[in-house]
Amino acid sequence: MSAIDTLWEYVAVAVGILVVLGGLAAGLLRGRGGATKDLPRERPTRSVPGAPGAGRDEADGSVDTLPRPADDTVTRDDTAVEEETLPPVEVPEVERPEAPQTRLQRLRARLARSNTALGKGLLALLSRGDLDEEAWEEVEDTLITADLGVEASTELVEKLRTQVKVHGSADEATVRGWLREDLLELVDPTMDRSIASSRVDGRPAVILVVGVNGAGKTTTVGKLARVLVAEDKDIVLGAADTFRAAAADQLQTWGERVGVPTVRSDREGADPAAVAFDAVKGASELEADVVIVDTAGRLHNKVGLMDELGKVKRVIEKQSPIDEVLLVLDATTGQNGLRQAEVFSEVVGITGIVLTKLDGTAKGGIVVAVQRQLGVPVKLIGLGEGPDDLAPFDPEAFVDAIVE
């Protein structure tokens, strides 16, 4: 045997020994419970928690028991998860108020009914012909009873007496013409009855509404907002009546009906001046045309409450001039409302009057009396309980309703 053959024999033996040793080692490991591991299989795919099959391996349906790392990012599979549907949002229907130009025409009949006694009574007296002193006194009493006031009643009687003396007896149509002319002069159609309703020098016009308890201020503010919305104005309401529990809610409801925002405090008894200030500021930020500030009703003879009203006015004026101060008067109070009007005018400087409840038991003469007393015009009148029963005051339509 050559040396090469001998070498190959040794190599073969060595390989055999290695194979045997490898087999022995494998058997020894099995005996101790050891096992060879397969190659790691691909990590299961996690589904979105809560979705069908969540936590299961999508490949074989086995439960995924691997702990979820804290920073594991889950990608939502839109095809596997049913899309959530939100309930429809209910948008409140916004009303379209009646145009101001048509309101007084519609309400004229009501106005005429409320003044029937005045007009018919005067015409019946004046159409008699030869009037003696007693008859003229009766004419004057009729005017005073209609809340025209003593001074205005005396003035009107003197004018009528002069016309009767000059023209002698006259038919009813002629007397009606005299009465219309003289009453219209007393109502004074030359007074400026416009309402501040447009931006002034790049800021919203500010309207402050004041009055005694029960006059209908908050309702009037809501109705005035409807008048201005009908004129396509952007309005903000300020609920500065913070003492009457339902006042802010009531005003907000009025605003929501016509899509107008309300600035208010959720805390009863909050500082009304602060609410008024925030309302004017909010209106400025929204670039509104007008902000209308409602105030708490107060008795004219309560000094503390009137001082507080003066404070509201001063605080507003630190931010913006006040363009309009409207005094709301209940027309049925007649002459008793005139003293109230005087005190409010002294404290906040009234620029206009709103007469509510002019239908029913009210006497039309209060229009003349309050204007003469304060020297400011009646700008709006309320003739009913409907949301659009507030109208700009028209002197000619008012007098025509009396004498027709």
Tokens of 265: 């405090």
Q: Does the annotation flag 358 for ligand binding?
A: yes
229 near 259, Cβ under 8 Å? yes
Q: Does the annotation flag 295 for ligand binding?
A: yes
Q: Does the annotation flag 51 for ligand binding?
A: no
The answer for residues whose C-beta is within 8 angstroms of residue 339's C-beta and 6 or more apart is: 300
173 and 236 share a domain? no
Distance CA 180, CA 126 (A): 13
Is the confidence at residue 293, as pLDDT, over 80?
A: yes
- The number of residues making up the chain comes to 404
Out of 152, 187, 222, a domain closes at 187
In a domain, 83, yes or no: no
Q: Does the annotation flag 211 for ligand binding?
A: yes
Is the confidence at residue 169, as pLDDT, over 50?
A: yes
Tokens of 15: 């390989």
278 and 147 share a domain? no
Percent of the chain with pLDDT over 90: 29
Q: Does the annotation flag 297 for ligand binding?
A: yes
Q: Does the annotation flag 214 for ligand binding?
A: yes
299 and 368 share a domain? yes
Cα dihedral 33→36→40→46 (10° resolution) = -20
Residue 206 host element (H or E): strand 205-211
In a domain, 17, yes or no: no
148 and 117 share a domain? yes
Q: Which domain holds residue 161?
A: 100-187
292 near 221, Cβ under 8 Å? yes
In a domain, 321, yes or no: yes
Q: Does the annotation flag 359 for ligand binding?
A: yes
Q: Does the annotation flag 298 for ligand binding?
A: yes
Domain of 364, CATH number, reads: 3.40.50.300
Condensed to tens digits (0 to 9), the pLDDT of residues 222-272 reads: 999 999 999 999 999 999 998 887 899 999 999 999 999 999 998 878 899
CB atoms within 10 A of CB 338: 18
133 and 183 share a domain? yes
156 and 278 share a domain? no
Q: Does the annotation flag 202 for ligand binding?
A: no
Distance CA 192, CA 80 (A): 71
H helix intervals, 96-171: 100-114, 116-126, 133-145, 150-167
Tokens of 22: 């490898």
213 and 256 share a domain? yes
| pTM for this model (two decimals) | 0.72
Tokens of 316: 């507003």
Condensed to tens digits (0 to 9), the pLDDT of residues 40-53 reads: 333 333 333 333 33
Q: Does the annotation flag 357 for ligand binding?
A: yes
Q: Does the annotation flag 311 for ligand binding?
A: no
Q: Does the annotation flag 218 for ligand binding?
A: yes
In a domain, 92, yes or no: no
Number of domains making up the chain: 2
Q: Does the annotation flag 313 for ligand binding?
A: no
Domain of 110, CATH number, reads: 1.20.120.140
368 and 260 share a domain? yes
